Amino acid sequence: MMTKWIGIALLMLSVQLHAAIEMYQFEQPEHEQLYKKMIDELRCLVCQNQNLSASNAGLAQDLRQQTYEMVSKGQSQQQIVDYMTQRYGDFVLYRPPVKLSTVLLWFGPIIMLLMGLIVLMMSLKKRKQATDEALSEEQQLRMKQLLDKGEK
């Protein structure tokens, strides 16, 4: 019984949280789609690991409002991206453009992976060689000597 009431109380809390998110009316479904896409792809500058849609920071609200207004005026995705990067730099984009300064960001992981694969292949090859090679006569003689010594 108690858990049921707690459950209901929690549900009411979640409704309250959602109520804090602003509601926007869109005249065209494409506008709404673009708006949703943009706020997913733009970063909240204040809370850096959230996008605009997930953040409730004041600046995120303002930027959502700005995005909404631009979308409603029929501006394109590129125009919105330009507006944001002009003010906040490439950092505002979750998918920054490929440039000299972002090369490491884009291709670093692949380079690391390739380097790891090369090292792995090299060491596997070495290990195989080491086990495959038969002992030379000299080495066999020395092995025998050592084994004999041990038996005494």
Partner 1 sequence: MKNSLPLIAFVLLVILLGVGLTLDPREVPSPFIGKPAPTFDLPKLYASTDSISVAEMKGKVWLLNVWASWCGACRAEHQVINRLVKNHQIEIIGLNYKDNADQAKQWLQELGNPYASIAVDHDGRTGIDWGVYGVPETFVVDKKGIIRYKNIGPVYQQDVDNTLLPLINQLQQESS
- Please identify which residue in 62, 107, 128, 139 interacts with partner 1, judged by CB under 8 A: 62
In the window 17-56, what residues touch partner 1 (CB under 8 A)?
45-46, 48
* Shortest Cβ 25–partner 1 spacing (Å): 20
Using the rule CB under 8 A, which residue among 11, 87, 106, 125 binds partner 1? 87
CA distance 44 to 29: 25
Rounded Cα distance between 107 and 113, Å, is 10
CA 6 to chain centre: 36
Contact 92, 51 (CB under 8 A): no
Examine residue 78 and tell whether it contacts partner 1 (CB under 8 A): no
The closest of 38, 23, 31 to 74, measured between CA atoms, is 31
With CB under 8 A as the contact rule, the residue among 14, 16, 86, 136 that binds partner 1 is 86
Which of 34, 39, 63, 70 is the binder for partner 1 (CB under 8 A)? Answer: 63
Phi-psi region of 97 (alpha: psi -120 to 50; beta: other; left: phi over 0): beta
The residue ranges that bind partner 1 (CB under 8 A) are 45-46, 48, 58-59, 62-63, 66, 85-89, 91, 115
